[in-house]
Structure 1
């Protein structure tokens, strides 16, 4: 848990370059994230924010940000939140995603993920609340990403 937060805090000392380097390094942990050119703009326990810029590589046939690109940003925010929130003796893996498509994503997208501290007390399921908003604040996608949380195996 502390590792990712420590790296983010150190990177944030140089806001543009540092956060860009952090976002790239985090994206390399799951290279598919890099397809949306994401930027982690806020990270703390139980909250993460990722920005997805609107560019041709994420647009659909009508010129809006493709909903799968938006979902990818939400999953990245969830992953950053999980890494920043989970106690060291636990591990997580996604087990499902339920999303509602609410409006066209016609601008830069801000993807957020949130949990409560009590969600990380032990093994079980954690429901991460996710929402993507466009530049005018309108929610374009909202939902839940469910995680399976289990004890980390002890090393021998």
Structure 2
């Protein structure tokens, strides 16, 4: 089990504050994530969910959640998914992101990242590295998708891992 998955599982068992404690700790590893105050609600292999509350600090001039705040939430979800899913002999780094804004983000937003299990093994990730596409989307409280796209990862062997 990955460190992130193990820590999330332990924190998630603590009623009321466990997810908040984990979310704060995760954001300290990559401090920019704290700008959106992510709340991790699901972390498992091939899926992660992060809630971004609609609050003044993430709003744009029309009172909706800012596009870059949405991207930040999607990247946080992707990072947790990658850490929970990647084989122990591999490492990853984001390579690019493409998103489309499909509706106003006028409520709290759940940022979702997903992959398929077969993406993490076999010929898809050769010794020299390979692209891995993570599907991402942000969903309003009413179920409408407000942003969708993909984040491309570059996955390679860890140095010294065989």
**TM-score of the two chains, using structure 1 as the length reference:** 0.97
Structure 2 CA distance, aligned partners of 1:133 and 1:90?
30
Aligned to 1:38: 38
Extract unaligned runs of 5+ from structure 1.
none
How far did residue 143 of structure 1 move? 0.1
Measured on the aligned residues, the alpha-carbon RMSD in Å equals 1.0
Structure 2 CA distance, aligned partners of 1:2 and 1:15?
22
Matched ranges for 1:33-72 at <5 A: 33-72=33-72
Aligned to 1:102: 102
How far did residue 2 of structure 1 move? 1.7
Runs of 4+ more than 6 Å apart? none
How far did residue 3 of structure 1 move? 1.1
SS of residue paired to 2:73: helix
Aligned to 1:112: 112
How far did residue 154 of structure 1 move? 1.5
Matched ranges for 1:2-151 at <5 A: 2-121=2-121, 122=125, 123-151=129-157
Extract unaligned runs of 5+ from structure 2.
none
Structure 1 CA distance, aligned partners of 2:93 and 2:158?
12
Structure 2 CA distance, aligned partners of 1:39 and 1:55?
13
Equivalent pairs, count:
155
SS of residue paired to 1:6: helix
Structure 2 CA distance, aligned partners of 1:2 and 1:102?
34
**TM-score of the two chains, using structure 2 as the length reference:** 0.93
